[in-house]
Chains A and B, each alone.
Chain A
Amino acid sequence: MSTIAPTPAAEAARPVVRRRRRFTSLPYLLGLPAVLTLAVGMGYPLYWQVLNSFREYGLAQQFGQAPTFVGLQNYIDLLTDSGFWTVLLKSIAFMAVTASATMVVGIAVAVLMKHVPGWSRIVLQVGLLLAWAMPIVAQMTVWNWLIDDRNGVFNYLLSLLPGLDLTGHNWLVNPWSFFGVASVIITWASVPFVALSVYAGLTQVSEEVQEAAQLDGAGGFTMLRHIIMPILRPILVILLLLQLIWDLRVYAQIELLQGFGARGSQYDLLGTYIYGLGVGQGHFGVAAAAAMLVMVFTIALSWFYVRELLKEDES
């Protein structure tokens, strides 16, 4: 109902607001719990993080020594450290590959669902839903069992192919293979959400409008551009933004995969890198600075989409 005519709905809201001008305190009252929750749950940690990114704060400070203010030193240390840049670029590359794979597969699955008979669509939907429902720790544990080097089913099946013997092959040794596995697992886990959302969007494209356009001689491309995209676009923007954020700051999956496979800086992405720097090695100040930098880079990378969202929000 709403999405068929989103703009009128949004426009309708505005005159209402004008009429309610005397209740100006209401929005603040409504927003207050959210602001309070964030202030309570995030306020102090955020303050601590910003503050300590400018201080020398290590284990000694954690155990009572007074922290000293070092200005931008933590930031300078990081930005001049090739290790930080390596992890950053690796993470961006990982995010780019994983997010695009997720979007492409997700959209393809959604389009497929639109065009297959009902029964097979339901089977696929249930399948996606089951995969989506898997908690991350369970997901990672199962995948680790699938690719287990000793008697995982993955190596067994691949070894059935002629000329291929993968018995005992450990997928988590080579860093490329490690990140490949991570990327496949994350894609597998994120596709259901993307596919179901895009499919939900596609069902909003009215059949009559499409048929009418077809009668008017609109080709596939015109149809896509003028009828399908306007409805799909906002959905795609937010999905892409979410994948971007989630895949860039991925922590749990990498941490668990390292736990099953091997630790070491060559298997790190930003999440595990920052965790290791702070909680692991006790360089809390530097870790805080790294987190701030990562946030800045995330904002920079996603600014285009954030602006898009804000623009839509304004209209």
Chain B
Amino acid sequence: MKKKTLAAVAMAAAGVLALAACGSGSDTEATSAATSAAAGGAEDITLWLMGTDTPDALIDYLKTTYADENGGTLTVEQIAWQDAISSLTTALPDATNTPDVTEVGNTQSATFTTVGAFMDISDMYDELGGDSLLQGFVEAGSVGDTKYALPYYFGSRMVWYRKDLYAAAGVEVPTTLAEYTEVNKAMKDAGIAGSYTAGQDWRSGISWIFANGGDIATFDGSEWAATLESPEAVTGMEMWQDLYTETSVAGPTDNDSTAYQAINDGFLAGTPAASTLAPNWAYWSLGDLSQNDAGETVATWNDDTFGAYALPGLDGGIAPVFAGGSNIAISAATQHEEGAKTLMRIIFSEAYQTMLAENGLGPANLDYADAYTSVAAMGEIGLEAAQGAKLTPAAPGWAAVEEAGLMEEYFQKVAEGGDVASLAAEYDAKIDALING
């Protein structure tokens, strides 16, 4: 189902895609000449993509281009995000069944790079974009100077809002973080709308910690240690708690999976949400709802009622947000090194990066961010937000922390009104137990 709705999105973008593919034709040929010289012969390889974020049109492009350049067949398998860790853990070390190339959540990269699951691709780094690649993600996929996983796409969170509801309550777009709470509180008190501050959505809520100068964990040169207890982080969390209690129309166990379209009409039973934090690709999910021929609900963006702005910082400017997205890497156990490398070259080619950008997925290579800002919806705000974006700790045990759901728990308990300082201490201890692997 999810796949289909995204496919519809991809269809919508297909017209633009075709043009883009023509425009960059010469570039692709150059790549193919380089690879066919290096490749020994046709190799059938497998690419794992996580979830259904990569639209079908892009997958088809990868398949045909790979067949053209290598002669072999590219099989693309979509692994549900919920099965991502278990599938990677079991399949990556298994030479006969490993995917040759795999997408991996950026926050999960560190865990796999530190145990040697991915192939060292430092020698390809410059060829694939080098320093033009989004550096935060490159670091998440590196151990020291050795590059293992490179950025695939990114999305930075921004505030999506309802112009009509803001107008009805007579409030303006906030310019500081404190104002964000005030604006939403004013709407909530007037009974018009609230903010969709989901209790378990730490990926959005973490901005309040970042904005106050706090962090999740720091590295002292030998060990990672959680820092939720720091005064900055506690202040930020208290601010978020205030935002939750005063303005939220979401529940304590809601998470970011529903934040995308929280401000659509009829999404909530009671008071509607007028503001929500979501990545830039939420654009495709927001708007006036209608039924298409297949009986599915589709959203059509409406500039009169919907808008977006970057989350404002503590004293104006923009707040650092969490950079969502994923990395891509070659499995250390691959038997098809050349094929896998060819696929990496295709993925990092201008043509493919441009396609990503046009689908609202931030391109790994910032040289193509122009296309992103000019073509992708809200690209400008997205890029603005991306510049201040931060990642989760690149610690070996970070995936375990995520898999254990510790951050979700911490935020939920704060949302439920718990004492921030003591909860911070409790969860620092829990995170410390896992974060060093």
Contact = CB atoms under 8 A, between A and B. Distances in A.
B173 to A, nearest CB: 28
A173 to B, nearest CB: 5
B122 interface: no
Interface string B424-437: 00000000001001
A183 B126 CA distance: 57
A264 B21 CA distance: 45
Given A150-B269, A168-B268, A276-B403, A59 B251 contact: no
Nearest to A151: B269
Contacts of A62: 89, 93, 115
B85 A170 contact: no
A59 B268 contact: no
A281 B403 contact: yes
A167 B89 contact: no
B255 interface: yes
A279 B85 contact: yes
Interface residues of A, number: 28
B405 interface: yes
B269 A59 contact: no
B158 interface: no
A114 interface: no
A167 B115 CA distance: 48
A264 B409 CA distance: 6
Q: DSSP majority for the A interface? A: loop
Q: DSSP majority for the B interface? A: loop
Interface string B246-278: 000001110100000000000011100000000
Interface in A217-268: 259, 261-266
Contacts of A262: 200, 253, 255, 408, 412
A42 interface: no
Interface in A54-112: 58-60, 62-65
Contacts of A259: 82
B117 interface: yes
Contacts of B292: none
Given A58-B437, A60-B437, A151-B269, A265 B89 contact: no
A279 B115 CA distance: 15
Contacts of B412: 262, 264
A280 interface: yes
B213 interface: no
B116 interface: yes
Given A168-B269, A173-B252, A282-B400, A59 B409 contact: no
Interface residues of B, number: 31
B404 interface: yes
A168 B90 CA distance: 40
Interface in B401-422: 403-405, 408-409, 412
Contacts of B405: 263-265
A168 B116 CA distance: 47
A281 B398 CA distance: 9
Given A62-B115, A63-B116, A276 B269 contact: no
Nearest to B403: A280
Contact of B268 (A58, A150, A263, A283): A150
Contacts of B434: 281
Contacts of A59: 89, 111-112, 115, 437
A265 B434 CA distance: 14
Contacts of B255: 262
A279 B253 contact: no
A172 B251 CA distance: 11
A82 B68 CA distance: 58
B389 interface: no
A147 to B, nearest CB: 13
Contacts of B50: none
B404 A173 contact: no
Chain A CB count within 10 A is highest, among B115, B116, B270, for B115
Contacts of A64: 93, 116
Contacts of B332: 63
B408 A170 contact: no
Nearest to B404: A281
B270 A63 contact: no
B234 interface: no
Contact of B93 (A63, A167, A280): A63
Nearest to B253: A262
A168 B270 contact: yes
B86 interface: yes
B62 interface: no
B92 interface: yes
Nearest to B85: A280
Contact of A63 (B82, B115, B200, B399): B115
Contacts of B89: 59, 62, 279, 282
B258 to A, nearest CB: 10
Contacts of A58: 437
Contacts of A265: 404-405, 409
Contacts of B409: 264-266
Interface in A271-292: 276, 279-283
Chain B CB count within 10 A is highest, among A151, A167, A282, for A282
Contact of B253 (A60, A168, A173, A276): A173
A262 B409 CA distance: 10
A62 B112 CA distance: 11
Interface string A147-158: 001110000000
Contacts of A173: 251-253
Interface in B105-133: 111-112, 115-117
Given A276-B404, A280-B404, 17 more contacts: A58-B437, A59-B111, A63-B92, A63-B115, A63-B116, A149-B251, A150-B268, A151-B269, A170-B251, A172-B253, A173-B252, A264-B412, A276-B403, A279-B86, A280-B86, A280-B403, A281-B404
7 contacts: A63-B93, A63-B117, A168-B268, A265-B404, A266-B409, A280-B85, A282-B399
What 9 pairs across the A-B complex have the smallest Cβ distances? A262-B253, A281-B400, A280-B403, A168-B269, A63-B115, A279-B86, A264-B409, A263-B405, A264-B405
